[in-house]
Amino acid sequence: MLKNKVKFSGFLSDLPIKTKILLSILSVLFLVMITFITLTLDSNRKLVLQVSKSEIINFTHLSAEALGYGLSNLNLEYIRNIINRMKNEPRLSSLLILDNQSNVIAGLNQEGLQNISVKELLNQKEPLVKNEEICWAVPIKGYDPETLKEKILGSFVVEFSLKSIYERILNEQIRFFLIAAGVMLFGIAVSILLARQISNPIAQLVKISRQVGETGDYQLRAEKKTGGEMGMLVDHYNKMLSQIEKQNISILNSKESLAIKVRERTQDLEKAKEVAENANRAKTDFLSRMSHELRTPLNAILGFSQLLKMRGWNVQTDIREQNEKSIDHIFAAGNHLHSLINEVLTLSQIESGGCILNLEPVDMVLLAHETETMLQPMAQKYNVTLDCGNLPHNHLVIKADPKRIRQVLNNLISNAIKFNRPSGKVEIRIKTDEENQLTLIVRDTGMGVPGDKAETIFEPFERLDWEFSKIEGMGIGLSISKNLIEAMGGRIGFESEVGIGTTFYFTMPLYFGETSDKETSAY
Phi, psi of 425 (to 5 degrees): -140, 145
The residue from 185, 203, 237 where one domain ends is 185
Quick one: average pLDDT of 59-81? Answer: 77
CATH number at residue 88: 3.30.450.20
Q: Using 50, 70 and 90 to split pLDDT, how confident is the model at 509?
A: very high
Q: Which of 140, 170, 185 is the last residue of a domain?
A: 185
CA 132 – CA 126 distance, rounded (Å): 16
| Higher-confidence position of 496 and 72 | 496
- What's the pLDDT tens digit per position in 443-480? 999 988 887 777 778 877 666 544 454 566 556 788 88
Considering only CA atoms, which of 117, 94, 96, 93 is closest in space to residue 106? 96
Left (φ > 0), alpha (ψ -120 to 50) or beta: where does 294 sit? alpha
Establish if 108 belongs to a structural domain. yes
CATH number at residue 481: 3.30.565.10
Give a yes or no: residue 261 inside a domain: no
| pLDDT at 494 > cutoff 90 | yes
What is d(CA 61, CA 442) in angstroms, rounded to the nearest whole number? 155
Domain span at 394 = 356-509
Write down which residue in 167, 185, 203 finishes a domain.
185
Alpha-carbon distance of 196 to 226, in angstroms, equals 11
Task: Say if 414 falls within a structural domain.
Answer: yes
The answer to whether position 192 is within a domain reads: no
Domain-located, residue 351: no
Q: Which amino acid is at 114?
A: Q
Work out the number of other CB atoms within 10 angstroms of the CB of residue 116.
18
334-390 pLDDT tens trace: 665 666 566 666 656 666 666 788 899 999 999 999 999 889 988 998 999 998 888
Beta-strand ranges (E) seen in 274-358 are: none
Q: Mean pLDDT across the stretch 70-85?
A: 78
Please give the mean pLDDT across all residues of the chain: 76
**What pTM did the predictor assign?**
0.42
Which residue would you say has higher pLDDT here, 497 or 247? 497
Average pLDDT over residues 291-316: 62
Predicted local distance difference test score (pLDDT) of residue 290 = 59
In this structure, is residue 162 part of a structural domain? yes
Q: Kindly state the average pLDDT of the residues 387-416.
A: 90
Q: Does any domain span residue 522? A: no
- Split into its structural domains, the chain has a count of 2
Q: Does residue 471 fall inside a structural domain?
A: yes
